[in-house]
Amino acid sequence: MRKGRFNKPAAEIVQRYGESVSFDWRLYRYDIAGSIAHAAALARAGIINADERQKIEDELRAIEKEIESGKFAWERSLEDVHMNIEAALTKRVGAGAKLHTARSRNDQVALDLRLYVKAEIAEIAARLRSLQTALLNLAEQHVDLVMPGYTHLQRAQPIFFAHYLLAQIEALERDMERLGDCNARTDVLPLGSGALAGSTIVLDREVIARELGFSGVSQNSLDAVGDRDFVCEFLFCLAMIGMHLSRLSEDLILWNTTEFGFVEFSDAFSTGSSLMPQKKNPDIAELTRGKTGRLYGNLMSILTTLKALRSSYNRDVQEDKEALFDSVDTVRAALEVFAAMLPEMKINRARMETAANDPSLLATDLAEYLVKKGMPFREAHETVGKLVVHAAKTKSSQSNSNRETEKALA
């Protein structure tokens, strides 16, 4: 790639600083799929013949197998996954030198990223469903279990434990919807945009889109090569999933304490202390809560990278991949471990039911009962509030209707 314009090879320090193959090798499957589809388009356009197209496809599939088996030798001097695969192909098949016709690494990497994000959206969605199933199964096992509901971490009203679990399912369902929205905007073929202004060699982009499973093609080449909105959106979706898991983690961490004792994590999903023999720590939930900060950071990283870039492609966007890969790996693992941890978690029904037996939890019900009897709500609210204060002072329950209680209501 440097032989025409440059008289000197890239300095070793430049190669180390600028290479991305150490992390973007993960795109190999999508890069190869895109190259096979591009070769077919070149054959349809008469740039390569049928025999050349077949040899290119066969060798690309052979390279894919070598990568998957760990036998492929990645070269840092070739910078990235694209040039590594192209160089290996060209060594094996002379026609490999024709493959990059009517293509730039700018639209090539945009294609690879879109294929990768589409695949990961499907994978994350499947794991979300698995976690929702685990939550639903737990709810069905404890459909009649009553517990206190909390606002401001103060006992508020009685709820079913199943109601709490279904609330988590609702939040995850919104995550599913966001992933679907993100996929709709990711599902656009950028190949054919070239470096920024397309190519004089016309390829049938609609056919390429169908072959690669895209619903449509990009409408503006300048936008297509520089667009990373879909990466930002996906990172936002992952950050939201992390936030929901973090809030669930916080609830479970609190309920796992001796003071609450509502739940107990399985030994298989707990850790001990290096000093204190009695400790059984909820590290999985704590780690999930902590890792959510990384998800936020990855989102802000790419947003900050993009904020001052001029239109079209800029090398800065190479920095999107490490953040993207890290967020995907983090959320994949978190969803998997939560789906496995919840079925093993012990639910202490007695502790929940005892806590739910607090008469003050029915204060709102009592106020609404008085409203049904004709009392204005604000008056009922004040009346029951006085009763709660009186009950707290006398340590009597709201069900008592002795003279002291009647006096408090007067």
Which positions are annotated as active-site residues? 152, 273
Q: Measured between alpha carbons, how far is 396 from 404 in angstroms, rounded to an integer?
A: 10
Residue 223: both structure tokens together = 């936008």
